[in-house]
Amino acid sequence: EVLLVESGGGLVQAGGSLRLSCAASGFTFDDYAIAWFRQAPSKEREGVLCISERDVHMYYRNSVNSVKGRFTISRDNAKRTVYLQMNSLKPEDTAIYYCAAQIRDPYGNSCPFLAPDFWGQGAQVTVSS
């Protein structure tokens, strides 16, 4: 069974930090790009950051201006886990954060992706002002 399990969400004051984790199982983790998406209330889901199977990091176009310099992504293949470090959080970062996985692109263009093979169930992040 394929599982992507997010953890680390919660309530934080503006200016604070959170680190989300995405623990994967049931597939060959090293062969997959992993991305974080988020969906704020009454808004469409948007991509945030993607990390390829080769550890290349890419921002998604729609959110790069809002998160660059504050959010970073990393992966630990030995732990089959991807992390989203979120610093200097703002109320507009409030959303459900999802991790997603897509099999690597054979031409090396694994990130960013929009049609994941697998989704996690999401983790709520709430930033109070």
Checking DSSP bridges between strand 95-103 and strand 32-39, what pairing results, if any? antiparallel
Q: How high is the mean pLDDT of the chain?
A: 97
Which H or E run contains 66? helix 64-67
Q: Which residue has the tokens 């890419």?
A: 58
Q: Is 53 helix (H, G, I), strand (E, B) or coil?
A: coil
So what's the pLDDT on residue 22? 98
Residue type, 17: S
- The predicted-structure confidence for 53-72, as pLDDT tens digits, reads as follows 999 999 999 999 999 999 99
| Residue 108 clears pLDDT 90, i.e. is over it | no
- The predicted-structure confidence for 3-37, as pLDDT tens digits, reads as follows 999 999 999 999 999 999 999 999 999 999 999 99
Q: How far apart are CA 101 and CA 24, in angstroms?
A: 9
User: Residue 66 is encoded by which pair of tokens?
Assistant: 């809002």
